Structure 1
Amino acid sequence: MRGRSAFWTAFRAWRNLPVSTLALLWARAHGATIALGDDLFVECSGMPRGSYGRGGTTVGNVWLHGGLGGPQRRRHELRHADQYALLGATPFLALYGLNALVTRNRPHHNVFERWAGLEDGGYRHPQPTPGPGLRRG
């Protein structure tokens, strides 16, 4: 890490610290294996189902999941940490929730999931539904 990258890494960690602390306490209480990366992003794996959302959840600089792992998913979740830092925790959560409500929680329509990279997040492209002009065969 050098220059701008080091600055952003430190800023993101500082900006996300309050919610990251809460997420780490949550992960610890649910028996997660906790690993801190060089980029100050924390991966909490091995959590039981129901202790995180969907396939995994990022809160601040902390990624909570049961066992997804992998560099692509990590890159996707790190982008969510960037979103937290840019917007602030409360505005980000409010806007993400509103966007999920409006899009009926479909990741391909959620601007924050698209910005984080749908493929990196493990979201497959939806199959087109047959309409008047499409035939299955």
Structure 2
Amino acid sequence: MDDVRPIGGGRLTAPQQLRRLGNWANLSTPVGLLIARIGRADVQRGPRGLVLADGYRLGFPIAGAFTVGNVVITARSWPDLLATSPNLLRHEERHSWQYLACLGLPFFGLYAAAMGWSWLRTGDLARANVFERAAGLADGGYL
């Protein structure tokens, strides 16, 4: 997971292939591609079985980047974003594993509940959010 290249394919490890196929089967990656398309983002193959979408034009959600299945979406360009946040893709890749663990689309509701819990406990949507903590708060750009 230390090889963070902004763009590229390469051979997938068995776990990465499992994640790629599992997130297709649980429909989270197809939904991610649909969201990227609705947001008029440009889509390209990324490293480690991820799909990178940049130029996303909708204002929701408010985030530097967000992941749905294996699709990592941002309003910015990936080269520019990774130049300023080199560990962000590692953080988002961890979210793609969380989609697999949550069997896909149930992740949306579980993540929303975790944000609510975090807000109630800390006044911050991420600080006590189990999903953000597991993805690495610092890698995601959280304080």
2:97 aligned residue = 82
Cα–Cα, structure 1 residues 90 and 25, in superposed 2: closer, same or farther, change >3 Å? closer
1:133 aligned residue = none
> TM-score normalised to the size of structure 1?
0.78
**Counterpart residue type for residue 35 of structure 2:** W
Deviations 1:72-92 (A, max 9, x none): 111100000011112212332
* Counterpart-to-counterpart distance in 1, 2:61 and 2:109: 18
50, 69, 78: which one aligns with 2:59:
50
2:5 aligned residue = none
The within-5 A match list for 1:59-70 is 59-67=68-76, 69-70=81-82
Cα–Cα, structure 1 residues 38 and 63, in superposed 2: closer, same or farther, change >3 Å? closer
1:127 aligned residue = none
Deviations 1:47-86 (A, max 9, x none): 1241444322210000111116314111100000011112
2:116 aligned residue = 101
* Counterpart-to-counterpart distance in 1, 2:141 and 2:108: 21
**Runs (5+) with no aligned partner, structure 2:** 1-9
Deviations 1:3-41 (A, max 9, x none): xx7111111111111221122122123221212124110
43, 46, 70: which one aligns with 1:34:
43
4+ residue runs of structure 1 moved beyond 4 angstroms?
none
Q: How far did residue 106 of structure 1 move?
A: 2.1
2:3 aligned residue = none
**Runs (5+) with no aligned partner, structure 1:** 125-137
SS of 1:63 mapped into structure 2:
strand
* Counterpart-to-counterpart distance in 1, 2:41 and 2:134: 27
* Counterpart-to-counterpart distance in 1, 2:65 and 2:29: 15
* Counterpart-to-counterpart distance in 2, 1:101 and 1:43: 28
The CA RMSD measured in Å over matched residues stands at 2.0
